Amino acid sequence: MAATDTTRARPPGTPPPPERPAGAPARPLIGLGAAARMLRPVRARLIACAVLSAAAAAAGVVPFVAVAEIGRTVLTAPGAAAAAPAVWAWAGAGAAGAALRLLLLGLSTHIGHTADAEMLHHLRVRIVRRLGVLPLGWFRAAGSGEVKKAMTDDLEAMHELFAHTLGGMAGAAAALLAGVGYLLSVDPRLALITLAVPLLSVLAYRIGMRSSSPHAARLLAAEGRISAASVEYVDGIGVVKTFGGTGERALGRFDAAMREHTGAYRAWAAENRTTSAVNRVLGSETAVLGVVAAAGLGFVAAGRLGAADLLPFLAVGIGLPTAVAPALVHGAHGLRTARMAAGHIAGLLSRPPLPEPERPRRPRGHRVEFDRVTFSYDGAANAVEDISAGCEPGTVTALVGPSGAGKSTLAALLPRFHDVTGGAIRVGGVDVRDMASRELLASVSPVFQDVVLLRDTVAENIRIGRPEAGDDEVRRAAKAAQVHDVVMRLPHGYDTVLGAGGGGLSGGERQRLTIARAILADAPIVVLDEATAALDPDSEAAVQDALAELVAGRTVIVIAHRLHTVSGAHRILVLDQGRLAESGTHPELLARGGLYARMWRAQYDGDRA
């Protein structure tokens, strides 16, 4: 949040930080109405915050007015004694105004903060709920980055809105209105002249920012290159060093990226030279002072203004524009950022959930049937096309084929990571779309090569397979998955909390924990997608033993690269470019001499070594 706060303090005329180019193509802005609906739970508090902030700002003008009025009173009164009561009254008002401002500001900030914390929590809970019903495929496509962005970055950008922007803008507007109103009541002509200075300054800023989009885009691209070059440098430093280079080549790229960045920045600054100088000069208190002095003296000399009436402009007028302009300019910017972030969150919250059947049907048995299954990610090309096959309970069905053949896609359709775009998948005679998703997922245990462990205890990580399972059952599953001994060596055994990376467990051990989870879940159908491919051979043997334990007696669908691992399968489905090229047992397919036989030969014959 520090980073966002610093942008608020940017003086007008400074190019905005490149991560938020003013005119870069951005996510759609959320409508104000939609944003207001999103903020409904804390609306009353946000309004209170803004009103109090405005009142505080208005109270903050009172001390300045007091000084001006003390001057006018003294200078127009016949003597000091006569003026005393009024002077003291104004001094009291000034002190009271300062105190009131502090009080109201504290209240406003406090209410804003509470609303902020409530709103963030509320939105996070809503996001979590929504994530729980989105199609599983979305997580794979959009990835965890999207989730993280919504849960942290976007919400933080919105927090700016609750915590700072709304109150700040309301305050600035109120201060401006109060100050200008007072000055207009003293002398409208001089008031307008005083205001003209900052208006011209803002105008110069606008003109300077007009051409900002291409510059911002160029800067952003250059920053991207700097980042890529430094990533390449640190990633490649091992290569660079071990191959005797001094890294000049990689550093050269970094230098070139920096030169480009410098050039882009300079070009922007050069184009803005005049406007930013004008903006800077006119945006200062001193400029207002000069103008007020010149115009005011002129009026006084011409007898059109009492000398005492200069005081309000000196006390209230000079500082007013510089005090409120940043809040207004950057407030608009913050509002835009917050609306963008809100748009993203609203988009996530309104994503269609995975359709649930109104009257879920229960499967009879666990036969898996692919019936003319077709699926397309993009609606144009089919990743899987017209595949039909049945998998009998207690048998192993293998999916093989070149990479990109659609094996993983087909396997992911069974637990409804995506819904088929043609045909149907049935479990026990019931279309998976007609089953309650909880029941479907309880019947199908997927084991993938990317292991997901929760940052929780070992026991909870296994138990999530079947939350009501007792400690004995958890241990039995761990033993069956060949991971019990490993767990017992951990500092707190089953109560050891696993870290984000699995905390001290090797890849094979982590994989065995997920197998223990699947064994505990006891789902009748098991989908294995390259479950051992990412392991080193030392772990692989143990994982293989665990898998053997898991698949015993179940309906198994297994994806394999190494063909010999599935040579004993009851049926091998050979996929090629999304279609079923051939199927049969290992000897049948070898005898056929088709794609499978060619793949087998490529893997196991004709070693050159």
Partner 1 sequence: MIRRLFRLWPHPGLLVRLWLLTAVLAVLQGLLLGLLVPVLRALLRPEPDIAAASPWLAAGAAGLIAYGVLSALAPPIGYAACIELAVQLRHRLMRHVTTLPLGWFSTERKGRFVRTATSVSRDLAQLTYVIGAPAITGTLVPATIAAVVLAVDWRVAVPLLVTLPVALAALARAKRTVAEVSADMEVAGNEIAGRAIEFGQAQPVLRAAGRAATGTARMRGALAEHRTRYRRGLRRMLGPDLAYSGVVAAGFVAALVTGVRALLDGTLPPADAVALLVLAVRYLEPLGGMIDHAAGLGAMQYLAERAEKVLRTPALPSAPRPVRGLAHAGVEFRQVAYFYGDAADGAAGRTPALRDVSFDCPPGSTTALVGPSGSGKTTVTRLIARFFDADAGQVRVGGTDVREYDHGVLLSEIAIVFQDVYLFDTTIEENVRIAHPDATDAELRDAARAARLDEVVERLPDGWRTRVGEAGAQLSGGERQRVSIARAVLKRARIVLIDEAASALDPENERAVGAAVTALARDPGRTVIVIAHRPATLDAADRVVALDAGRVTETGTPDELRRTGGGFARLYDQYERTRGWHITATFPEG
Does the footprint of partner 1 cover residue 126 (CB under 8 A)? no
Q: Which is nearer to partner 1, 431 or 540 (CB)?
A: 540
* Distance of alpha carbon 542 from alpha carbon 535, whole angstroms: 10
Does the footprint of partner 1 cover residue 590 (CB under 8 A)? no
Among 22, 41, 51, 124, binds partner 1 (CB under 8 A): 124
Site for partner 1 in 287-326 (CB under 8 A): 287, 289-290, 293, 297, 300-301, 307-308, 310-311, 314-315, 318-319, 323, 326
Least gap, CB of 556 to partner 1 (angstroms): 5
Site for partner 1 in 515-544 (CB under 8 A): 517, 521, 523, 528, 532-541, 544
Q: Which is nearer to partner 1, 241 or 372 (CB)?
A: 241
Does the footprint of partner 1 cover residue 467 (CB under 8 A)? yes
Site for partner 1 in 402-431 (CB under 8 A): 403, 415, 417
* Distance of alpha carbon 566 from alpha carbon 64, whole angstroms: 85
Does the footprint of partner 1 cover residue 488 (CB under 8 A)? no
Site for partner 1 in 335-374 (CB under 8 A): none
Q: Which is nearer to partner 1, 28 or 470 (CB)?
A: 470
Q: Which is nearer to partner 1, 214 or 422 (CB)?
A: 214
Does the footprint of partner 1 cover residue 464 (CB under 8 A)? yes
Least gap, CB of 32 to partner 1 (angstroms): 25
Residue found under tokens 């000055």: 183
* Distance of alpha carbon 206 from alpha carbon 200, whole angstroms: 10
Any alpha helices (H) in 132-165, and if so which ranges? 136-148, 155-160
Does the footprint of partner 1 cover residue 489 (CB under 8 A)? no
Q: Which is nearer to partner 1, 29 or 506 (CB)?
A: 506
Among 24, 26, 48, 131, binds partner 1 (CB under 8 A): 131
Q: 397: how many CB neighbours lie within 10 A of its CB? A: 21
250: part of which helix (H) or strand (E)? helix 248-271
Structure tokens at 79: 């003597």
- x-or-dash pattern for partner 1, window 439-458, by CB under 8 A? --xx--xx-----x-xxx--
* Distance of alpha carbon 372 from alpha carbon 128, whole angstroms: 35
Number of residues that bind partner 1 (CB under 8 A): 190
Least gap, CB of 536 to partner 1 (angstroms): 6
Write the DSSP symbol of residue 457: B
- x-or-dash pattern for partner 1, window 268-287, by CB under 8 A? -x--xx--xxx-xx--xxxx
Site for partner 1 in 38-77 (CB under 8 A): 63-64, 66-68, 70-71, 74-75
Least gap, CB of 280 to partner 1 (angstroms): 5
Least gap, CB of 102 to partner 1 (angstroms): 6
Residue of 39, 275, 262, 247 lying closest to 159 (CA atoms)? 39
Q: Which is nearer to partner 1, 251 or 581 (CB)?
A: 251
Site for partner 1 in 74-93 (CB under 8 A): 74-75, 80, 83-84, 87-88, 91
Q: Are 70 and 92 in contact (CB under 8 A)?
A: no
Does the footprint of partner 1 cover residue 199 (CB under 8 A)? no
Q: For residue 583, report the phi and psi dihedrals to the nearest 5 degrees.
A: -155, 160
Q: For residue 395, report the phi and psi dihedrals to the nearest 5 degrees.
A: -115, 165
State the first-to-last Cα distance of the chain, in angstroms, to the nearest integer: 59
Q: For residue 85, report the phi and psi dihedrals to the nearest 5 degrees.
A: -60, -45
* Distance of alpha carbon 270 from alpha carbon 473, whole angstroms: 72
Site for partner 1 in 231-270 (CB under 8 A): 231-247, 249-251, 254, 258, 261-262, 265-266, 269
Q: Which residues of 101-128 are buried (b: 16+ CB within 10 A; e: fewer)?
A: beebbebbbebbeebbeebbeebeeebe
Any alpha helices (H) in 77-165, and if so which ranges? 80-131, 136-148, 155-160
Residue found under tokens 């480009």: 260
Alpha-carbon dihedral sign for residues 529, 531, 537, 543: negative
Dihedral Cα 565, 568, 570, 572, nearest 10 deg: 40
Among 378, 380, 500, 587, binds partner 1 (CB under 8 A): 500
Residues with Cβ within 8 Å of 271's Cβ and at least 6 positions away in sequence, in order, are 211, 215
Among 37, 492, 562, 592, binds partner 1 (CB under 8 A): 562
